[in-house]
Amino acid sequence: MDTHRATYTAPAIITQAIISLSGPYEPDVTVLHARTTDARITLTLGGVLMVFYNCAAVQGLRAAFSAAKQHARFIPEQIPAQPQHTTGNRITMSIDWTRAPSYAVVAQSGANKLRSTTLRWIDVYTAAITWQIRDRIALATVGDGLANLHTVAIATFLDGDQHSAHPEHPPAAAAS
């Protein structure tokens, strides 16, 4: 008798994905099984579907985008919409957030293909996903969407009370 435990190895693993954000976004939020251990929230931004399983994950992603605001002056107000962005909400990527991501934010610049102008953007690194923020409109609308999502998550998830602090304004440390 074989006592080895069967393990499943995925045929492929995505180790890096880049999501480019430009122009306005209208987030679509759905709550399922609120205030239970099976609670989850889905958020659709353009072609990106995200599923959150706890408030910590929402707060963590909100913190990453809040940190990007310090670089907003380096990117243009709005760039022309990309053709694929205007075709509706066809899902091109799905992300399951099971915990708060570690993140880093870096302002970037580089010459365009013709080397006629310098392009500027903000990279928000959240583990294997790099969010490339191309203009301030995208930063503002996605940031507002995540702020609203955080409010919903606090009421939806059982860990909402522990992760209710605004990432830009953490609570003061308790005096001992």
Q: How many Å is the maximal CA-CA distance in the chain?
A: 69
**Residue 115, burial from CB neighbour count under 10 angstroms (0-12, 13-18, 19+):** exposed
CB atoms within 10 A of CB 60: 20
Q: Strand 28-32's sheet: what is its strand order?
A: 28-32, 40-45, 48-52, 93-97
pLDDT band, residue 8 (cuts 50/70/90):
confident
Predicted confidence at residue 176, as pLDDT, reads 38
pTM as predicted: 0.87
For residue range 33-67, list pLDDT tens digits in order.
Answer: 999 999 999 999 989 999 999 999 999 999 999 99
pLDDT in tens, 14-25: 889 999 999 999
- Give the chain's mean pLDDT: 91
Q: How far apart are CA 98 and CA 55, in angstroms?
A: 9
